Amino acid sequence: MQDPLNTQAQSKLVPEVSKRVTWFGFLMRLLMGKPISSDHAEHTLLNRVLALPVFASDAISSVAYATQEIILFLGAAVYAGKPLYSQTSPYTFYTLLLTGLVVLLLTIVVISYWQTIHGYPNGGGSYIVSKDNLGKFPGLIAAAALLIDYILTVAVSIASGVQNLGGLPGIFQMFHFNLLVPWCILFTLLLTAANLRGLKESGSLFAIFTYGFVVMCYVMILLGIFGPLFHLHIHPQYVNHNYGPKQAAETFGLVVLLRAFANGCSAMTGTEAVSNGIPAFKEPKSHNAAITLIYMGIILGSIFLGISWLAMHLKVVYWEANGQTADAVIDQISGAIFGKTGALSVGYYLTQFLTAAVLVLAANTSFADFPRLSSILAKDGFMPKQMSNLGDKLVFTNGILILGVSAIILIIYKHGNVDALIPFYAIGVFTAFTLSQSGMVVHWKRCKVKGWRIKALINGIGACATGLVLMDIAVEKFMEGAYVVIILVIMMVFVFTLIQRHYLEVAAQLRLKDYIPPDKPYKNTVLVLVPHLHRGVMPALEYARSLSSDCRGLHICINTEEEPRLKERWEVFAHDVPLIIIHSPYRTLVEPIMRYLDAVRLERDAHTITVVIPEFVPSKKWHFFLHGQSAARLKLALLSRKDVVVTNVRYYLHNMQELQVDDALMEEISPQALPSHSHEVTHDH
């Protein structure tokens, strides 16, 4: 069917609409930039250079605190009143051993997700893979675990970044522990605003910091290994006195190793982000995503090994007690290699600044994946439909805002303390790892493509490895906070099912299948609520006449002295429409209208009842406070009735100065000369 509004007429409307910008719209445009048309969605896709900082910054940045967490648990257990770095101490050996095991696990996971990317070239996040191959509930468990982990990623990354800045001297002391929470909140808000501007813009903004951090880490590692060959003077960080304020609380053994390994696995978070974000890559999507995943694995594994080796070689210690912590491990390492004074000190400051920046910006991975996963869940009916709506910048605005607010709440709750947030960490992502890799085993067995047995074996090894780590994390961190994550996952899955049930019920009631049209056409009875007859009511009467010939005015009489004047005017201006006057001795408005509607319904059961409410709109916003807003209250009251249709007809007032009304006319129409309710469209009761 051809649009009756021709193209030329439509083109004339576009410039006029674009000029209507409110102050709120102006501020949003200033914050988010110019909107992007849906036709330009292709221009927001990422190449591999920009995709790495967007999707891999979380995983890469975790090297700044993964070694630190291993040292924290091993050091407290090993120390027993003697130096940590004695010849008989297992501290160095087990730190490097656990780091190597985490890197081995990372290699297995990267290979497994490389297969997932090619098995699901349109996006193979844990939710999709688990739901398709294991069923609805495993998929929802994976989704809930990932959503929680994304929120934790934002909180941990930003808190760790601010902690690294606080270790710097001079002006950077404004990031001290006592001001940790305000700075964390500020950075979260800035990151939220940056992502609201669009994925490609944020990728361009973050690329320089991510690549700068990687370069400085490699420079630091190479200088730490080969610097002595070139007579570079490196200052070891060994301190031969009490291990901070915290004495050993447990003997060294398997339990300690498992606990330290569980914390070291925080380096694995963010690994699956690339497979989640395949739709954001440029063509060929799966190939570019797979290459980006490999680059991420190589960078993460090599830097993690290098930092752990340097930490042991330079005799770094790390402690936490009563909310206070030692300087971050990477701060101590860079300070020892570059020196905090002298010619190379610029390397120390640059490393710390880039570390803090990449940690803060690492939360961008969550800002990319949380909204996308939420939109997928919304399309499947497990989250509110609003989560799948694209904003002006072709990003999922609602998901970005919810993630930012949730992370701020968590930061405030845990006072921005990284070591207090870590126990909540990793269990969600390893739950997703295990379910996803198990799902891929079923996928290859079902598809039986060439070499499917080898592919299934690789994913099976990945599922077993991550499953064992998941059990370790769940047991070792259970009382430290993991139980909270487990409870939240169960609650979220329950909420997901409730939301889906609601949407299914709505769809069942709205479907057209088996719909039988009524035998007789509907007839319409129209009631116009008339407070008094004046120019603001006339458009409502005209509209009512256009709806049905069965039209009548309804006036609730509170002041009987005004009744004769109303009847007189009605005979002159609306004599063709019957006027019903109902007296209200108790000065109520809603109750008499409701009783009359009941009577109309009994009289005309097969009719549609339409209530037309006239309402004038003042020329200035503050004028609303000078009127009773009875129309709004009437609409709210009538909306509770299922048997009526409520229509609001507005009459827009003009500025009297623009009308150039003379003084004589102003005197004639002054409020003193009018009946008590003539300047109100509806009674104020």
Distance CA 169, CA 597 (A): 76
Note whether residue 607 is domain-resident.
yes
Comparing 278 with 480, which gets the higher pLDDT? Answer: 278
Sign of the dihedral defined by the CA atoms of residues 59, 60, 65, 67, in that order:
positive
Regarding whether 417 and 287 lie in a shared domain, the answer is yes
> What does the chain come to in residues?
685
Regarding whether 364 and 222 lie in a shared domain, the answer is yes
For the chain, what percent of residues have pLDDT higher than 70?
Answer: 76
Per-residue pLDDT at 490: 93
Distance CA 592, CA 611 (A): 14
Note whether 116 and 436 are within 8 A (CB). yes
pTM for the full model? 0.73
Note whether residue 619 is domain-resident.
yes
Crossing angle, helix 48-61 and helix 364-379, to 10 degrees? Answer: 100
Say if residue 509's pLDDT is above 90. Answer: no
In degrees rounded to 5, what are phi and psi of residue 618? Answer: -65, 160
Distance CA 421, CA 348 (A): 27
Per-residue pLDDT at 215: 93
Domain span at residue 275 reads 32-106+147-421
Q: And the tokens for 576?
A: 């063709």
Residue 46 DSSP symbol? B
CATH number where 626 lies: 3.40.50.620
Say if residue 176's pLDDT is above 60. Answer: no
Distance CA 422, CA 152 (A): 9
Strand-pairing partners, residue 324, are: 321
CATH number where 324 lies: 1.20.1740
Of the three residues 380, 398, 421, the one that is the final residue of a domain is 421
Comparing 640 with 488, which gets the higher pLDDT? Answer: 488
Find the range with the poorest average confidence among 16-25, 65-74, 627-636.
16-25
Of the three residues 421, 441, 468, the one that is the final residue of a domain is 421
Distance CA 347, CA 351 (A): 6
Per-residue pLDDT at 318: 76
Note whether residue 667 is domain-resident.
yes
Per-residue pLDDT at 240: 39
Regarding whether 527 and 413 lie in a shared domain, the answer is no
Distance CA 276, CA 593 (A): 56
pLDDT tens, residue by residue, 28-68: 555 555 555 544 444 557 788 888 887 888 788 888 878 88
Note whether residue 533 is domain-resident.
yes
pLDDT band at 678 (very low <50, low <70, confident <90, very high): very low
Q: What is the mean pLDDT of residues 356-374?
A: 82
Note whether residue 401 is domain-resident.
yes
Note whether residue 409 is domain-resident.
yes
Regarding whether 92 and 204 lie in a shared domain, the answer is yes
Cα radius of gyration (the chain): 34
Residue 553: count of CB within 10 angstroms of its CB: 23
Of the three residues 400, 421, 442, the one that is the final residue of a domain is 421
> Could you give the number of structural domains in the chain?
2
- Choose the most confident range, by mean pLDDT, from 27-31, 154-158, 679-683: 154-158
Find the range with the poorest average confidence among 235-244, 252-261, 496-505.
235-244
Find the range with the poorest average confidence among 285-289, 420-424, 438-442, 526-530.
420-424
Note whether residue 494 is domain-resident.
no
Note whether residue 527 is domain-resident.
yes
